[in-house]
A and B are shown apart, each in its own frame.
Chain A
Amino acid sequence: MSVVTKPEPPPAAPHDTTHLGHLLHIRRGMGVAEAFRVAFEGLMANKMRSFLTMLGIIIGVSAVIVMVSLGQGVAKATKESIARLGTNMINVRPNSQSVRGVSMGVGSLQTLKLEDAETVLKACPAVKAVSPVVRSNGQVKYRNANTVAGIYGTGPDYFQIRNLPIAKGHGFTDDDVRRKAKVAVIGHNIAETLFSRSDPINKYMKINGQNFKVVGVVQKRGDSGFRSPDDEVTIPVTTAMQRVFGQDYLDSLTIQAVSEERMLEAQDQILAALRKAHRLRPDEESDVRVMNQADITESANQQTTFLTMLLAGIAFVSLIVGGIGIMNIMLVSVTERTREIGIRKAIGAKRRDIRYQFLIESITLSLVGGLIGIGLGVGVSLWMALPADRGGLGFPMLLSTPPIVVAFAFSALVGTFFGMYPAVKASALDPIEALRYE
């Protein structure tokens, strides 16, 4: 509409203008503490709904904490069990086979043979001991008790290379390997599961249905990492290959260097010796991979980092879903409280006052939800870390501050982000329309 002739303002009495004009300039909005108090009262007025709205954030935050604790716990346990292998240990594995450019995974080649163990020991001066390894899972049984164990076929030096002292009985000998004897050395947990309190030495247990005489028990390691020696059964490599698994190739060679200083030298010698034994042309890619402890740690780190990221990613998605829940309820709340918004505007609330009020409500929802989520997440993590015999799950959990802080900060961010739209919508309401709303 165009402006028509506007009459001049009447001469205003000075005391009147100053009165109103003065009032208009000294005014401020409400303080932060006041705003949080108002928001908190609003949320307490509808406890059930507020709790259900927070549930998304509670689950999200606790999921982030539990998942990251689990991921980091697994990473730490893995790192520790690798560290126990000893610093002068070298592992040789078949390389991955590529079929028309597609990798078939580590160990898919079957070129590592029993003779290679002998070859390496003879050809490499920097190598102190070699143990061939075949590995698979198998069922072990004694009378009524049975369990699934990692079955290792190895040489007699295996226990010394991997630093596994025999607690009871003895290891097996070169003679056992030559005769393909059915003897077994078992881990601490296996002994407890199968034989409970009785002495397992010289008893006969069944591995995949065949009778084996238990000759030794390995000292308890007590670590919770996967592939713990406590859960392993070790038998002569020849027995394993020919009588149990029926395979003519090795899964790996476990090698001990003469000293830590000569590790790299030993690695080079092993690679050269095996290339020669396998008659590879100089331009051909090696069919084995030689890894020292640092390499193994590195590749394990990559895997556990990926695992942690994956778990945390899923948990963060649930936090975002929780945020959408907050937005949903805040939108409903804005509609329900249209009249309240009208009243507040009529008595002097500015747009930003209303925006502030609703934004603080959604931030309060997410902050309170975040705090409860921290409690729940820490509680669940502690419970999962408890050993199974004390009612927990015995998971390797590593609880640390960063994921708690990050999850909490992210939940506050989610509350702010998803609270913004409903708050802006509320503040934009026309006071007259809002007051008329039934």
Chain B
Amino acid sequence: MSTTPIIRIEHLTKTYTMGTTHVHALRGISLEIQPGEMVAIMGPSGSGKSTLMNIIGCLDRPTDGSYWLEGLDVAQMDDDRLAEVRNARMGFVFQQFNLLPRTSALRQVELPMLYSGEDNKEARARAALAAVGLEDRGSHKPAEMSGGQQQRVAIARALVNDPAIIMADEPTGALDTRTGQEVLAIFQRLNREGKTILMVTHEYDVGQHCKRVVRFKDGHIIADEPVENPLDALEELARLPRYRDEDEEDEL
């Protein structure tokens, strides 16, 4: 295949200076990710995987090296340009959901469009909520929703500006097994529909749902290999005992 990589990283380093000591979080990383991939980034804490995610997510800049996103050199962009790239091309999903308190699901999903100045925000937000099976929860606030529902709102928010990449940082870390599988099923479906997904996780099982696993240690990539037979979250859901959690009742 002769596609342009959606992410191309070469000799990327990141060094934090704390007083007189230098912490080398990334020691020369090179990585290519093609459109449509679903990649798990794994490694112990302090291995540099979060630093890399921050740089890929345009939240941070590398100390040295190059990063092309969709062929555009973003490594040296200023803060405002990075904000624009995040808004238009990145969708973030966090472990702790990171929804705004006291804000309805619909408003949460409208937020990215607030900063891009879109028209018909509400219609698009409703469509994104429907894509994660929450079309009837638009008026609910985070406190009125279960963890799985909150995470699905977060996914809808990540989707709404039609990003190139969805960055998910331990998306199942705060969820029980069943709702975790439900969230993974959504990611797998989005991937099948063509979205590129990058997922940080330290759970082996979660990584096995992706098509490719990149392992980190001490600021280096120590392994980068495809997953032989990725798990299908929907099949696993079917195998799970059919218990009904009090408020986690909706089907996908």
Interface residues of A (CB under 8 A from B): 1-4, 6-7, 9-10, 12-13, 16-17, 19-21, 23-24, 27-31, 34, 38, 41, 45, 339-340, 342-353, 431-432, 435
Chain B min CB distance to A323 (Å)? 27
Are A1 and B117 in contact (CB-based, < 8 A)?
A: no
- In terms of DSSP, what is the predominant structure of the interface of chain B? mixed
- Residues of A within 8 Å of B88, CB to CB, are 20, 23-24, 27, 348
Residue contacts A-B, CB under 8 angstroms, 10 given: A16-B70, A20-B89, A24-B81, A27-B117, A343-B99, A346-B86, A346-B98, A347-B111, A349-B87, A350-B79
A280 to B211, CA, bound (A): 115
A13 to B68, CA, bound (A): 12
Are B115 and A349 in contact (CB-based, < 8 A)?
A: yes
Known: A17-B72, A20-B69, A339-B98. A27 touches B116 (CB 8 A): yes
Are B59 and A346 in contact (CB-based, < 8 A)?
A: yes
Are A431 and B59 in contact (CB-based, < 8 A)?
A: yes
Q: Which of B3-11, B124-132, B177-185, B227-235 contacts the other chain?
A: B3-11
Known: A9-B71, A45-B102, A339-B98. A348 touches B116 (CB 8 A): yes
- Residues of B within 8 Å of A19, CB to CB, are 70
- Residues of B within 8 Å of A435, CB to CB, are 59, 94, 98
- Residues of B within 8 Å of A20, CB to CB, are 69-72, 85, 88-89, 164
Is B143 engaged at the interface, CB distance under 8 Å to the other chain? no
- Residues of A within 8 Å of B191, CB to CB, are none
Is B147 engaged at the interface, CB distance under 8 Å to the other chain? no
Chain B window 1-38, contacts with chain A (Cβ cutoff 8 Å), 1 for yes, 0 for no? 00111001011000100000000000000000000000
Q: Which of B62-93 contact A (CB under 8 A)?
A: 63-64, 66, 68-73, 79-81, 83-89, 92
Is B100 engaged at the interface, CB distance under 8 Å to the other chain? yes
A29 to B87, CA, bound (A): 11
Which single residue of chain A is at the shortest CB-CB distance from B115? A348
Is B135 engaged at the interface, CB distance under 8 Å to the other chain? no
Is B114 engaged at the interface, CB distance under 8 Å to the other chain? yes
A432 to B60, CA, bound (A): 8
Interface residues of B (CB under 8 A from A): 3-5, 8, 10-11, 15, 54, 57, 59-60, 63-64, 66, 68-73, 79-81, 83-89, 92, 94, 98-103, 111-112, 114-117, 157, 161, 164
A2 to B59, CA, bound (A): 21
Q: A12-B4, A13-B4, A343-B99 are in contact. List 12 more A-B contacts (CB 8 A).
A: A1-B64, A9-B68, A12-B68, A29-B117, A31-B117, A340-B100, A346-B59, A346-B92, A347-B92, A348-B115, A351-B80, A353-B83
- Residues of B within 8 Å of A346, CB to CB, are 57, 59, 86, 92, 98
Which single residue of chain A is at the shortest CB-CB distance from B74? A20
Are B71 and A7 in contact (CB-based, < 8 A)?
A: no
Are A16 and B115 in contact (CB-based, < 8 A)?
A: no
Are A351 and B79 in contact (CB-based, < 8 A)?
A: yes
Which single residue of chain A is at the shortest CB-CB distance from B158? A347
Chain A min CB distance to B2 (Å)? 9
Are B114 and A34 in contact (CB-based, < 8 A)?
A: yes
Chain A min CB distance to B85 (Å)? 7
Are A348 and B66 in contact (CB-based, < 8 A)?
A: no
Known: A20-B89, A23-B88, A346-B92. A30 touches B114 (CB 8 A): yes
Other-chain contact of B63, A1, A6, A38 (Cβ < 8 Å): A1
- Residues of A within 8 Å of B157, CB to CB, are 347
Are A348 and B15 in contact (CB-based, < 8 A)?
A: no
Are B15 and A1 in contact (CB-based, < 8 A)?
A: yes
- Residues of A within 8 Å of B15, CB to CB, are 1
Are B59 and A432 in contact (CB-based, < 8 A)?
A: yes
- Residues of B within 8 Å of A29, CB to CB, are 115, 117
Which single residue of chain B is at the shortest CB-CB distance from A339? B98
- Residues of A within 8 Å of B83, CB to CB, are 345, 348-351, 353
Are A350 and B80 in contact (CB-based, < 8 A)?
A: yes
Other-chain contact of A27, B5, B84, B99, B102 (Cβ < 8 Å): B84
- Residues of B within 8 Å of A45, CB to CB, are 102
Are A347 and B66 in contact (CB-based, < 8 A)?
A: no
Are A432 and B54 in contact (CB-based, < 8 A)?
A: yes
Known: A349-B83, A350-B79. A7 touches B66 (CB 8 A): yes
Are A347 and B69 in contact (CB-based, < 8 A)?
A: no
Chain B min CB distance to A339 (Å)? 7
Are B4 and A347 in contact (CB-based, < 8 A)?
A: no
Are A344 and B111 in contact (CB-based, < 8 A)?
A: yes
Are B114 and A38 in contact (CB-based, < 8 A)?
A: yes
Are A10 and B71 in contact (CB-based, < 8 A)?
A: yes
Are B4 and A10 in contact (CB-based, < 8 A)?
A: yes
